[in-house]
Amino acid sequence: MVSHSGLITVMTRAARKAAPRLRRDFGEVEHLQVSRKGPGDFVSMADKRAEESIVEELRTARPDWGLLLEEGGEIAGNPDKPRWVVDPLDGTSNFLHGIPHFSISIAVMEKRPDGREEPSSALVYQPLTDETFWAEKGRGAWLHDRRLRVSSRRDLADTVIGTGIPHLGRSDPARWSSIYAAVAPEVAGIRRFGSAALDLAWVAAGRMDGFWEDDLALWDTAAGVLLVKEAGGFVTDYRGSDRAFERGEYVAAAGSIHSKLQKLVAGAVR
């Protein structure tokens, strides 16, 4: 049995507490109350209920920590302490259409000496498959008790790459099309699954060899980025620098693939 910190225990407990209700709501998706949050961006009562349940658990464990929530916004805490970043339902559109691919994402963000934040603990949980991807800085990435490693493929021609496709109100279709046109002829396949948190977890697990997407919020990616890094991969922005969180741009892949994918992406957006 792999030992992990009390924080991972807290995060796992919070995700598992919210999961049964999400599974029930998913089974009755046609009866959910749904309100429009913005162009092409829906939020369900399931989102809100899951977030309330997760926040209650996290605040009980660490009452003085702040939170950044997809639905509830920012809740201030002690500025000298870490903060939680929570997406209670990453893949809401999938959920609302009965597509069984979504996740709960929870990360702990800590300040670095230069004042920037970085994730130190991470959990991505798939309620329908009961898969718990977790990572702690310096301690590796795991799927339950199995150590994760990014893909060992070296040639782009052998890779499957994940992405997010622009839609109503999100990202720039022309920019994405330029990147797609550069990447597609070089790889074995491109996949769009609809949950960035799970996409990154799957890169960490070697199920996909790489991933790119922009116009993503911190709650979409904080946990997944740590998973990829702790599984031996690299995550940068489109320019190849470490400003992915600030710029909302992500290129994630195994080391042997990352530089090749990043150069394709950068060349397409110049």
Q: Map out the domains of the chain as residue ranges.
A: 6-147, 156-269
Q: 13, exposed or middle or buried, with CB in 10 Å at 0-12, 13-18, 19+?
A: middle
* For residues 237-245, average pLDDT: 97
Residue 133: pLDDT over 90:
yes
Annotation: binding site: 70, 87, 89-90, 220
From residue 27, alpha-carbon distances to 44, 49, 89, 93 in Å are 14, 15, 15, 15
Q: Are 195 and 101 in contact (CB under 8 A)?
A: yes
Residue 176: pLDDT over 60:
yes
* For residues 122-151, average pLDDT: 97
Annotation: binding site for Mg(2+): 70, 87, 89-90, 220
270 confidence band (pLDDT: 50, 70, 90): confident
* For residues 112-136, average pLDDT: 96
Residue 158: pLDDT over 80:
yes
The pLDDT value given to residue 29? 81
List strands edge to edge, sheet with 189-191.
Answer: 189-191, 160-163, 210-214, 249-254, 233-236
* For residues 2-13, average pLDDT: 88
The pLDDT value given to residue 42? 63
| CA dist., res. 163 & res. 146, Å (int) | 26
Q: Half-sphere exposure of residue 227, counting CA atoms within 13 Å on the CB side? A: 31
* For residues 154-166, average pLDDT: 97
CATH for the 156-269 domain, from 3.40.50.970, 3.40.190.80, 1.10.357.10, 3.40.1260.10: 3.40.190.80
Q: For the segment 178-213, what is each residue's pLDDT rounded down to a tens digit?
A: 999 999 999 999 999 999 999 999 999 999 999 999
* For residues 96-122, average pLDDT: 94
Q: 122, exposed or middle or buried, with CB in 10 Å at 0-12, 13-18, 19+?
A: buried
170 confidence band (pLDDT: 50, 70, 90): confident
Q: Residue 144 is inside which H or E element, if any?
A: none
Residue 241 DSSP code: S
The pLDDT value given to residue 41? 60
Show the tokens assigned to 59: 């605040």
2 confidence band (pLDDT: 50, 70, 90): low
Q: What is the mean pLDDT of the chain?
A: 93
Selected residue with higher pLDDT from 204 and 46 = 204
Q: 224, exposed or middle or buried, with CB in 10 Å at 0-12, 13-18, 19+?
A: buried
Q: Assign domain 6-147 to a CATH class.
A: alpha beta
* For residues 123-136, average pLDDT: 98
Q: Residue 181 is inside which H or E element, if any?
A: helix 173-183
* For residues 213-219, average pLDDT: 96
The pLDDT value given to residue 39? 53
Selected residue with higher pLDDT from 72 and 65 = 65
The pLDDT value given to residue 33? 66
